[in-house]
Each structure stands twice: as C-alpha cells, then as structure tokens.
Amino acid sequence: MPRKTLEIPRKIEWLSVLDHEGNLDKKLEPKIPAEDLRKLYKTMLNSRMFDERCFHMQRQGRIGTYGPTKGQEAASLGFAYAIGKDDWLVPSFRETAAMLWRGWEMDKILLWWAGNEAGASVAEGINDLPICVPVASQCQYGMGVAWGCKLRGKGQVCITFCGDGGTSEGDFHEAMNFAGVYQTPMVMVIQNNQWAISIPRESQTASQTIAQKAVAYGFDAFQVDGNDLLAVIVAAREAVEKARKGGGPTLIECITYRLGVHTTADDPKKYRSDDEVKEWEAKDPLPRLRDYLIKKGVLDEKGDQAVRDEIKAALDAATHKFEQYRHDQYEMFHHMFADMTPELQRQMAELKDYHEWKESGKKRQPSRVI
C-alpha cells in the first residue's frame, strides 16, 4: 500500500484585535458595553497597582515570597469576563486580575501571599479554587471540575490556567488527555509568558506552538495575542460557548510576557536581556487598553486619575485590614483530626508553654520545652 498523509480535522487560529498603539480591527471588535469597558480597565489597573503594592510589601518583610502578574493581566481578565457566576475558574498564581473580577477581596489575597491558610478560603458564591503554586497540578483539578460540570448537566464551564512551563509537566498532559476523552466543558488557558523561571520557551518544547498540543488530544485550539484584552475576550467567548453547548474542550495559548520577576526570590537579569524586556514593554496590555478606551471616548485623563485614586484608597484599606488579621496559632492542632489525639494535645501544651515563656521574659525555659 502506498504511503499517504493523514488528515487531522483540527484547526489552530491566531487572533489579534488590538495592535500595540491601541488601533483595532473593527471587523473583529467584540461588543462590550461602555460601562463594562470601564470596569475591565479598572480591574486591570487594580491588578497592576495591587501587584506593585505586594512587591514592596514583600521587600519590607510584610508578606512572603510573591509572584508578580505585571504584563499578564489581560490573559486572565478576558476569561473571567467571558464566564458567568455559576461557571468555575481554576487559577495558578498569576490570575490576580481574574480573581478581582470574580469578587475576591484584596486583603484575602494578601493573606494567601503571607502564608496564611485563611487566604485559601473561597468566599460564598464564588465558584473558584484558590491560588495554586505547585506547577500544573491545578490542571488536574480543573479537568475534574469540568468533568463534574458535565455530569451535573447544568451547562457550567470551567476555565483552567497554566503557564508555558507547566506544559512540560505530566499533570498537564494527563488533564488534556482526560478532557479530550470525556469531552469536558473545559477551556485550558496557557499563559505563555516566554519564560519558565529561567528556562526560555524554545527550551520547553520543539513544537511550533503550544496551542497545537491540543490536536494530539482531539480538540481545537487558538493562539491569541494575550496582551490584547479584546482578542482574549473574543477567543474566550467562542470557546466558552462551544463548551457550554457540549462541544468539548478548547486550548487557548495566550502569547504574553512576564515583565517582572518570576517571584520576589528571582533575579531575571541573570538570564534575559534588558532589550528583550523593553521590546515587550511596548506591548504592555494596560496602556494598549487605555489608549483604545480614550480613542473610543470611554475614558479621559480626568477619569483615569479618578480611578487610580479610588484604587489606591481601596488598596490602603485592604492592606490595613490584612495587617489587623490575627490567626489562631494553634489551628494546626485543632484541625488535624475531628478529636485531638493525646500526642497532639501534648504538643499543643508544649507550644503554649513556650509562648508563655517568651511573653514572660524569663531567662529559664520551661523544662518540657525542647
């Protein structure tokens, strides 16, 4: 038998609506009410200012290691806008803009980055999972949530986020495989920010795009300008509608860039050039959206400043509320078992003795404190 080329009936499209100067392709411009456009801009700006506040707070020792989202705000916000309250969102750790849109309070997000488990508790009425740092592990959760949505049959959709580095993890591929096999209503979003800490995109995979990995698992994909909020919304709406109607999963690769450090424990100057960063700064999603809104007559300089002042006041209030929070330092004992074991009782008593000794200022430690 002669050789023949197999035809794989899957498509991969590139999508961009808004260029770097804020000009747009009117044929592709999504219909978004002016009030929503202003709210989207405010949310993106809020995420950026929150990001800056967290960076400084980490340097001051007020929170722990922090993972900035600067430059990637559009790549998560567009998806949060495209889904409803009853849908699900499963983040990694650079989806602050999406979380703010979904109703997360800034003080709670600060608690998470301060290492307090209270920051992982999801408020009533928000169908989200908390921030997830272990790379690509959230892909499995997202697939499971999406599968549950399908079994419930209420038309819910799950958005799951992953970085380009996460696509090198087995969790990502296992989630993709199950999503394809069971045709789950999941939209897998790859925030391709070009760097997996210090490993460049070209060292992650030999495939031309990350989007095309969806073909191997039997579903469609988009590659989108992730710094173009309008393009993200267009792609997100299409994928969400398809999933909601029973059309199965879609992978969307958002081409974006991490303008800041990987985390506050990282020094990107050791592995990438200033010229590369400057090139991507020209594609920053925030000024692109701002220029578009000004040209559209939805925003002006006075309104922009008013939004900034409002966000700063909200940030100050959230920071104050966060720093007033007092957690139960013995919760690790109370919540291990329904009934505390004798060994845990002994350990808690030992810790209490230690704290009492520290507060008393006595020079001699209690005998049972090791």
As annotated, the active-site residues are 258, 262, 271
d(CA 315, CA 105): 10
Q: Which residue has the tokens 């800034």?
A: 106
d(CA 322, CA 195): 31
Question: Which residues have C-beta within 8 Å of that of residue 362, sequence separation ≥ 6?
Answer: none
Question: Which residues have C-beta within 8 Å of that of residue 20, sequence separation ≥ 6?
Answer: 282, 283, 288
Query: Hey, which residues does 224 pair with through a beta bridge?
Result: 15, 254
Question: Which residues have C-beta within 8 Å of that of residue 33, sequence separation ≥ 6?
Answer: none
Q: Residue 56 in contact with residue 319, Cβ under 8 Å?
A: no
**Degrees (nearest 5) of the Cα angle 178, 180, 183?**
100
Q: Which residue has the tokens 């001699």?
A: 364
- In three-state secondary structure terms, 250 is strand
d(CA 18, CA 24): 4
d(CA 251, CA 90): 14
Strand pairing category for 195-196 and 199-200? antiparallel
Q: Which residue has the tokens 């002994």?
A: 346
Query: Hey, which residues does 90 pair with through a beta bridge?
Result: 160
d(CA 57, CA 60): 5
d(CA 3, CA 243): 36
Question: What are the phi and psi torsion angles at 363 (to 5°)?
Answer: -80, -30
